[in-house]
Structures are given as C-alpha cells and as structure tokens.
Homo-oligomer: A and B are copies of this chain.
Amino acid sequence: MSLIVQKFGGTSVKDAERIQNVARIVTDTYKAGNDVVVVVSAQGDTTDDLIEKANEINPDASKRERDMLLAAGEQISIALLAMAIEKMGCPVVSLLGWQAGFLTDSNHSAARIKRIDTGRLTKELDKKKIVVVAGFQGLNRFDDVSTLGRGGSDTSAVAIAAAMHAKCCQIYTDVDGVYTADPRKVPGAKKLEEITYDEMLELATLGAQVLHNRSVEMAKKYNVDLEVLSSLERVPGTKVKEAVKVEQMLIKGVAKDNDVARISIIGVPDEPGIAFKIFSQLAGEKINVDIILQSVGRNNTKDIAFTVPQSQVKQAVEALKTNPTVMHASSITHDETVSKVSIVGAGMETHPGVAAKMFEALFDANINIQMISTSEIKISVLIAQEDADRAVSAVHSKFFG
C-alpha cells in the first residue's frame, strides 16, 4: 500500500462544482488502492475576503489574530471537501493543521514547520480513511494557531509527504505542468516531462510561479518526488525530482520577472571593502539583493549597480543614504522600469555556447542588455521592462523554436 499526498489550491476548490471535481480525483486515487492524504487551501477568494474584513476593523491588527482569522478559511474548505468525499461513499476525515500534527515556530504569518507529529494521520490512514488536511496552518508551542505564509499549502503537502514517506506528492493547480515559458504568452512553449529541484527553484525564483520555493526546497531536502498537474484535465504533468533522464533537453525554461528594480551608486571612492560595507548594510536591513555589477575603477572611483525587489527599493535607497561609504558617492539612482529574463537548465555550465546563444537572440531582437548574471544552472539578463515579453519570445524560439 503506497501513500500519495495530493494538494489542491484555492481555485481548485473555489465552488461546489470544483470541490466535487477534486473529490472525484481523490476518490479515484483511493479506489485504485492507494492511501491518500489531501491538503487543501482556502476557497478562491476567502482569504482576500477575510483580509478585507480585518483591514476594515484594524489595519494594524496583530499577526497572531490575523493568523487566527485566516486559518478559518482552510477549515471551511476541508470540511466541504470531506462532505463531497462522503457523498461519493468513501471513508474520510478532515483535520485542521494542529490536528494533523503541524508544530511551527511562533513567527506568525510566516511560520516555519518545526515538526509533524504524525500519530493522528497514521491512525486515520490505518482506519482506511482518506485524510483531508488544512494546508497553510499549524500550531506553535504556546498552542496558538499559526500560518505558514505564501505558498504555505504546498509546503504543508510536501512536509506531510516527507514525514510519512509518501510515494509522491502531487501538486494540482490550474496549469497542467511546468512549461519552457509562460504558455499564455509564448505560443511555442512546451510542457516539460521532468525537471530537477534546482531547475524548479530557479524557475520559481524567476517568476514562473508554479510552485513556491519553500516547498521545492523542502522536497529537495527530503527527496520527495513532486508532480505538478492540472486539477481540470487528467493528463500527465511535470515531475520534479533529484535527477532527470539524460536525454532531457539542456535548457528547461525561459522566465521573466518584473518584480525587480535596479539601484546604481555612481562614483564611490575606489578603496577596499566598499562592496562589503554596502551589502552588509543591506543584508542587515533584510533587503534581498540579486544581480550585482561593479564597474572597473576610474579616476579613483567605481560604480556599483544591483537589483532588489520593487517593494524594497525605497527602503534600500533610504538606508544607503545614511551609509558613510555611499555618502561620498556622486549619486544614487534607481530604475523600476526593468525586467529580468533568464534561462534555466542544469548542466549549462559545461556548454559554454548557451550564454552566447541567448545573447545572440537578444541582439537579433535589438534588445539592449543592462546587466548579466550567471550561475551553474541559470543565466539572467536585466533589460528594459518594455522589451521583456519580446525578449522571452526571442530567447525561447532560439532554444525551442
């Protein structure tokens, strides 16, 4: 008997019809002889509605009470899904995060799972029940309800799969897999049969938000086989695992990320420790710095440019203005009309032609590259945001066309 963990997001359970659809997928899996644990998110707009109610009363409400409020969302969806499964004649029980044994730290609204006490889950599975678990939520050591923050339900599902040594963890969503580019925008985008954890992590980071990073990191750490597939079409999805078949294509995808801004510090004195002084300050402010470019010195000064998420630009610039090193710079500028376009693929570091091919595609499309960043499995370029969609198409056709 093998255990399959299935996770369904908010759109997959948004109304009675969708819930019945999910119940069919779950009961089919159960009837095929599997143990099944189902993790669900809150229905469609429930979370947004609850946040709106909270903001009307107190926009500065404590995170503790916000977690209490939001956790009601999954409570509703697990009960409704369990009812739909009951109607299909299969034994089922719904469990809240704490009933399923999710113990977290006390970082309300972005709690980390510390462990899962699997006693209740095991007991219910032993009774041959389908177990429907509220994703996104747990309990801290003070017995207070906590939530896991963005991507929380994916993380809940992977955590259960890891703790229960499940055969696999299926993440059902409204797309039927991971594509080489956004299929809504790039006509030739191809669905990938398999992808490695690292590639998936890079693609998630780069704005191809199919799975949240936390869940992929956890899957990699505990070697949980993931599959991304559609809750509406019964077709094979994309498998995420440690290693993929060697005949898989070198480049896995082209992604675009608009949530990026470039900050440039022009004319800082060219002396040792400048980068350290700037970036340690930003790290202290918990600002995520991505691509960094440092110019060759000239007239005893340097230029330093780097990217941050758009939401952190203001904070970063304010902080830098107080930095003794930066105070001697001639100017600080920032540009939010940029976009990061990247290609991802394990093994590209042994194929030097890949970067050149990407740059050629951009050159052919007459797109100017502002910054370049490379890693073992990724090449990113910073370009003007107005060119981004064109850049994705051009690069995609170069590799997959």
**Footprint of B on A, CB under 8 Å?**
16, 19-20, 50, 53-54, 56-58, 60-62, 64-66, 68-69, 71-73, 75-76, 78-80, 82-84, 86-87, 93-94, 96, 99, 120, 143-145
A57 touching B83 in the complex, CB below 8 Å, given contacts A94-B65, A143-B99: yes
**Bound form: Cα–Cα A54–B16 in Å:** 9
Task: Give the residues in chain B near A60, CB-CB below 8 Å.
Answer: 86-87
CB distance B75 to A61 under 8 Å? no
- CB atoms of A86 and B62 under 8 A apart: yes
A94 vs B144: C-alpha distance when bound (angstroms): 9
Known A57-B83, A65-B86, A96-B145; 8 more pairs at CB < 8 Å: A16-B53, A60-B86, A60-B87, A61-B86, A71-B75, A72-B76, A99-B144, A120-B143
Q: Which B residues lie within 8 Å of A53 (CB)?
A: 16, 76, 80
CA distance A61 to B76 in the complex (A): 14
Complex interface: chain B residues within 8 A of A94 (CB)? 65, 68
Question: In the assembled complex, which residues on chain B have CB atoms less than 8 Å from the CB atom of A61?
Answer: 82-83, 86-87
> Contacts A65-B94, A143-B99 hold; do A83 and B71 have CB atoms under 8 A apart?
no
Residues of B close to A20: CB separation below 8 A: 57
Taking CB as reference atom, which chain B residue is nearest A67?
A: B79
Q: Report the separation of the CA atoms of residues A144 and B82 in the bound assembly, to the nearest whole angstrom.
A: 14
A65 touches B82 (CB 8 A): yes
Q: Answer whether A57 and B16 are a contact pair too, CB < 8 Å, given A69-B76, A71-B75, A78-B68.
A: yes
A104 to chain B minimum Cβ distance, whole angstroms, is: 16
- Please measure, in the bound complex, the distance between the C-alpha atom of A250 and the C-alpha atom of B398, giving whole angstroms: 95
Cα distance, A9 to B66, chains bound together (Å): 22
- Expressed in whole angstroms, the Cα–Cα distance for A144 and B69 within the complex equals 20
A89 to chain B, nearest CB (A): 11
Complex formed: what's the CA distance from A120 to B139 in Å?
15
Residues in B neighbouring A68, C-beta threshold 8 A: 75, 78-79, 82, 94, 96
- Which one of A64, A72, A144 has the greatest number of beta carbons of chain B within 10 Å? A72
A69 neighbours in B (Cβ, 8 Å): 75-76, 79-80, 83
Nearest CB in chain B: distance from A63 CB, A: 11
Give me 6 A-to-B residue pairs in the complex whose CB atoms sit less than 8 angstroms apart, sorted by A's number. A50-B76, A54-B79, A58-B83, A64-B93, A68-B78, A72-B72
Q: Are B99 and A80 in contact (CB under 8 A)?
A: no
| A81 nearest CB across to chain B (Å) | 9
The answer on a CB contact under 8 Å between B57 and A84 is yes
The reply to whether A80 and B54 contact each other, CB–CB distance below 8 Å, is yes
Q: Could you tell me the distance in whole angstroms from the C-beta of A144 to the nearest C-beta in chain B?
A: 8
Query: Which residue of chain B has the shortest Cβ distance to A79 in the bound complex?
Result: B69
Name the distance in Å between A10's Cβ and chain B's nearest Cβ.
15
Which of A19, A60, A82 gathers most chain B CB within 10 Å? A82
Which residue from chain B places its CB closest to the CB of A123 in the assembled complex? B142
Least distance between A138 CB and chain B CB atoms (Å): 14
